[in-house]
């Protein structure tokens, strides 16, 4: 007897090998998206899918080709499609078929909800055959489709505003016959309905030339992207990127001890800490060329960039040189800064380096860093974040190295003085002492300060410290005519809060260079 079971077994094994790789996507061919949307090419391509990995790529590409905006994370078409599928399942389900796979469901999913959906219930019983007197059976004609008990007719009415642009018709009335186990487009409009459904398969493909599905980032990639974006935003707040040659010159300066005339002044404002940076270029260094750039690099104690600037600069002339300033918002901490003046070609003309500690904003009555200045210039239009501008004046520091022709001036910021509730003012007094190195202290008499009115602070204005800037010109010019010798001097300023009855002090050391004249009485 001829054996036939072996070839049959081989055929079964082969069939299992072809389709055995599909698990999660084994029924995707029966899904509403494939049944209603897949183009002829996609239907052919799906027949070649053998594994879930291939199917995953196919499905991702399937939806991406219909995505109206590939630049967004969400696929708006897929979201709307799933919403319509859910709606069709609720409205049109049959005992043996889900609503999204019915003919009515197909039209709803492809065209969207109609303006009106009307249901006409069948009311007629089916005609019963009648036996004639001669014994023959007479069979009456059947009811019109959809009019029998248990059946109904569904009428979809679309006007222009409900139809998609690609439909190419201004209105549509589609009639469906719904029987117990199936539904179908009624005679007379089935051709138009089928034509629109076929047109939708191709019209809904927005990206027909897309060959690869867009990359869907993992949770780790999304988190890494957010972290990178946050770092980029934080870096952008530090200022513009420096040109490589400029950064190299400033980095080299930062690696050396303090040099040049660079002054760093930490100041607390109402809502932030700021670091003022001033570079002084003496007249002996030559004329600053037009188009010169000022570049500043500030680094924290971990060696990270804290602030940067690099821009064509405007300069102001002092009595014996030119000074440049910038102001940066920084958190409390220790910093080193390098500032350089570069010609338009990027060649460094002057570079200086200095370090400073920026303390937190004082919580109580306190003085900020005492700044000794060689000159004070009017700055009536200055802003709160303008470098070295206080109370309408700009102070030229020269990094505390004063020439005999300079003046002797100071400014200090007073934090949180008490406010007299009756007069809404603060009342301060000051004493100033000058001590040459190795010499007795010199008291410099100060005029009595009038009370300072304080505007009422509301909202965020009341959250930060209350500040008052106290400044004085001790010697207007020709400093060398009042001091007995060159060298180091300590300037001590004490501010007393006459309302709170408390005193705070600040001291700064400056150096007088050059040859001095015989001392005269200090003004």
* Confidence label for 71 from pLDDT (cuts 50, 70 and 90): confident
Helix, strand, coil percentages (3-state) for the chain, rounded to 5, are 25, 35, 40
Q: Which pLDDT belongs to residue 13?
A: 38
Host H or E run for residue 329: strand 321-329
Q: Could you read off the pLDDT of 267-294 as tens digits, one per residue? A: 999 889 999 999 999 888 888 888 899 9
Instruction: Determine the average pLDDT of the residues in 203-232.
Output: 89
Q: Which two tokens stand for residue 168?
A: 């190419």
Looking at the structure, tell me whether residues 350 and 367 fall in a common domain: no
Buried b (16+ CB within 10 A) or exposed e, 470-479: bbbebbeeeb
Q: Does the structure show a pLDDT above 90 at 489?
A: yes
pLDDT per residue over 186-201, tens digit each? Answer: 988 899 999 999 999 9
Q: Are residues 371 and 392 in the same domain?
A: yes
pLDDT of residue 321: 86
Strand ranges in 343-455 using DSSP code E only, listed in sequence order: 348-358, 366-367, 371-373, 375-378, 389-390, 393-396, 401-402, 408-415, 425-426, 428-436, 442-444, 452-453
Contact 81, 106 (CB under 8 A): no
Residues 262 and 167 reside in one and the same domain:
no
Domain co-membership, 393 together with 313: no
Asked whether the predicted pLDDT for residue 314 surpasses 80, the reply is no
Q: Domain ends where: 316, 345, 361? A: 361
Q: Which helix (H) or strand (E) holds 478?
A: none
3-state class (DSSP) for residue 89: helix
CA-closest candidate to residue 197, choices 77, 108, 69, 262 = 108
CB 275 within 8 A of CB 356: yes
Look at residue 330 and tell me if it is in a domain. Answer: yes
Rounded to whole angstroms, how far apart are CA atoms 25 and 19?
11
For position 463, what pLDDT does the model report?
78
| Position 464 in a domain | yes
Please name the residue that has the structure tokens 């008499």: 445
pLDDT digits (tens, 9 = 90+) for 411-441: 999 999 999 999 999 999 999 999 999 899 9
Segments forming the whole domain that contains residue 485:
363-523
Q: Do residues 19 and 154 both lie within one domain?
A: yes
Average pLDDT, the chain: 90
Q: Are 520 and 442 in contact (CB under 8 A)?
A: no
CB 18 within 8 A of CB 50: yes
Rg (CA), the chain: 43
Q: What does the pLDDT read at residue 17?
A: 38
Cβ atoms of residues 298 and 335 within 8 Å:
yes
My answer on whether 144 and 55 are in the same domain is yes
Q: For residue 261, which of 287, 282, 247 has the smallest C-alpha distance?
A: 282
Of 297, 327, 361, the last residue of a domain is 361
Q: Count other Cβ atoms within 10 Å, centred on residue 486.
A: 17
Higher pLDDT, 377 or 384: 377
Coil, helix or strand at residue 406: coil
Which pLDDT band, with edges at 50, 70 and 90, does 339 fall under? very high
CA–CA distance, 425 with 119 (Å, rounded to integer): 82
Does residue 505 lie in a domain region?
yes
Q: Are residues 193 and 258 in the same domain?
A: no
End-to-end CA distance of the chain: 135
Q: Would you say residue 494 lies in a domain?
A: yes
Q: Which residues pair with 130 in a beta bridge?
A: 138
| Chain centre to alpha carbon of residue 36 | 41
Residue 31 lies in a domain: yes
Residue 229 domain-assigned? no
> Which residue has tokens 């993992």?
218
The confidence score (pLDDT) of residue 35 equals 97
Residue 3 in 3-state DSSP?
coil
The per-residue pLDDT for range 157-176, each reduced to its tens digit, is: 999 999 999 998 999 999 99
Residue 519 lies in a domain: yes
Residues 375 and 334 in one domain: no
Instruction: With H, G, I as helix, E, B as strand and everything else as coil, classify residue 349.
Output: strand
- The residues with which 426 forms a beta bridge, in sequence order, are 452
Longest CA span, the chain:
155
Using the predicted structure, report yes or no on whether residue 388 has a pLDDT greater than 90.
Answer: yes
pLDDT at position 28 is 96
- Indicate the length of the chain as a whole number: 523
As for how many domains the chain has, the answer is 3
Residue 19: is its pLDDT beyond 80?
no
Q: Would you state the pLDDT for residue 2?
A: 40
- The region of weakest confidence among 56-65, 111-120, 130-139 is 130-139
- pLDDT tens track for 389-418: 998 999 999 999 999 999 999 999 999 999
Stretch 505-509: mean pLDDT, rounded?
97
C-alpha atoms less than 13 angstroms from C-alpha of 142 in its C-beta half-sphere: 6
In this model, does residue 478 exceed pLDDT 50?
Answer: yes
Q: Are residues 468 and 501 in the same domain?
A: yes
Contact present, 154 and 183 (Cβ < 8 Å): yes
CATH code of residue 335:
2.60.40.2550
What angle do helix axes 76-92 and 103-111 make, rounded to 10 degrees? 150
Contacts of 141 (CB under 8 A, 6+ apart): 127
> Residue 18: which pLDDT band, with cuts at 50, 70 and 90?
very low
Q: CATH code at 392?
A: 2.60.40.3880
CB-facing half-sphere around the CA of 496: CA atoms within 13 A: 10
- The answer to whether position 447 is within a domain reads yes
Same domain, 322 and 260: yes
Give φ, ψ of 313 to 5 degrees. -110, 150
How far is the C-alpha of 304 from the C-alpha of 235, rounded, in Å?
10
Q: Which residue, chain included where needed, has tokens 């920026």?
A: 358
pLDDT range class, residue 139, cuts 50, 70, 90: confident
User: Do 393 and 431 fall into the same domain?
Assistant: yes
Are 383 and 343 part of one and the same domain?
no
Spatial contact of 473 and 425, defined as CB atoms under 8 Å apart: no
Out of 340, 361, 382, pick the residue that ends a domain. Answer: 361
Across the range 83-103, mean pLDDT stands at 96
Quick one: what percent of the chain has pLDDT higher than 70?
93
pLDDT above 80: residue 457: no
Task: Report percent pLDDT > 90 for the chain.
Answer: 72
User: Which residues, 6 or more positions from 385, have their beta carbon under 8 angstroms from its beta carbon?
Assistant: 269, 274, 327, 329
Between 509 and 285, the higher pLDDT residue: 509
Report the pLDDT averaged over residues 70-85. 93
User: What is the DSSP secondary structure assignment for residue 259, as one 8-state letter?
Assistant: B
DSSP H or E segment with residue 515:
none
Mean pLDDT of 321-344: 94
Region 488-496: mean pLDDT is 97
pLDDT tens readout for residues 250-260: 999 999 998 88
């Amino acid at each position: 007897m001829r054996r036939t079971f072996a070839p049959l077994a081989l055929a079964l094994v082969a069939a299992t090998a072809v389709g055995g790789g599909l698990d999660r996507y084994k029924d995707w061919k029966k899904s509403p998206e494939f049944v209603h949307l897949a183009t002829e090419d996609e239907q052919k391509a799906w027949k070649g899918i053998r594994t879930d990995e291939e199917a995953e790529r196919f499905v991702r590409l399937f939806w991406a080709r219909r995505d109206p905006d590939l630049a967004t994370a969400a696929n708006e078409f897929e979201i709307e499609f799933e919403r319509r599928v859910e709606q069709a399942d609720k409205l049109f389900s049959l005992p043996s078929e889900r609503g999204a796979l019915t003919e009515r469901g197909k039209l709803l999913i492809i065209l969207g909800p109609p303006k009106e959906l009307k249901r006409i219930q069948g009311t007629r019983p089916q005609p019963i055959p009648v036996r004639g007197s001669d014994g023959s059976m007479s069979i009456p004609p059947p009811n019109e489709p959809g009019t029998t008990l248990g059946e109904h007719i569904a009428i979809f009415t679309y006007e222009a505003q409900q139809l998609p642009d690609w439909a190419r018709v201004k209105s549509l009335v589609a009639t469906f016959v719904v029987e117990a186990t199936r539904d179908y487009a009624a005679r007379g409009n089935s051709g138009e309905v089928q034509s629109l459904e076929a047109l939708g398969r191709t019209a809904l493909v927005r990206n027909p030339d897309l060959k690869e599905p867009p990359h869907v980032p993992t949770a780790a990639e999304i988190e890494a992207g957010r972290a990178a974006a946050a770092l980029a935003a934080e870096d952008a707040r530090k200022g513009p990127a420096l040109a490589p040659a400029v950064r190299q010159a400033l980095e080299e300066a930062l690696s050396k001890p303090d040099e040049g005339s660079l002054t760093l002044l930490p100041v607390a404002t109402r809502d932030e800490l700021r670091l003022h940076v001033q570079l002084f270029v003496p007249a002996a260094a030559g004329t600053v060329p037009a188009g010169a750039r000022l570049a500043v690099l500030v680094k924290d104690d971990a060696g990270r960039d804290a602030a940067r600037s690099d821009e064509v600069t405007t300069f102001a002339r002092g009595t014996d040189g030119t000074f440049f300033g910038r102001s940066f918002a920084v958190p409390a901490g220790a910093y080193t800064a390098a500032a350089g003046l570069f010609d338009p070609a990027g060649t460094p003309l002057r570079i200086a380096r200095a370090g400073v500690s920026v303390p937190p904003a004082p919580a109580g009555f306190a003085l900020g860093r005492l700044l000794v200045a060689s000159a004070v210039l009017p700055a009536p239009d200055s802003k709160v974040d303008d470098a070295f501008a206080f109370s309408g004046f700009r102070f030229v520091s020269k990094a505390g190295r004063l020439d005999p022709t300079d003046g002797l001036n100071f400014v200090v910021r007073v934090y949180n003085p008490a406010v007299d509730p009756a007069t809404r003012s603060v009342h301060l007094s000051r004493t100033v002492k000058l001590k040459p190195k190795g010499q007795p202290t010199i008291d410099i008499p100060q005029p009595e300060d009038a009370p300072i009115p304080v505007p009422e602070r509301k909202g965020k204005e009341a959250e930060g410290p209350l500040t008052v800037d106290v400044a004085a010109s001790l010697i207007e010019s020709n400093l060398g005519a009042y001091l007995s010798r060159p060298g180091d001097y300590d300037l001590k300023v004490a501010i007393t809060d006459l309302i709170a009855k408390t005193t705070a002090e600040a001291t700064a050391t400056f150096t007088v260079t050059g040859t001095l004249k015989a001392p005269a009485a200090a003004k």
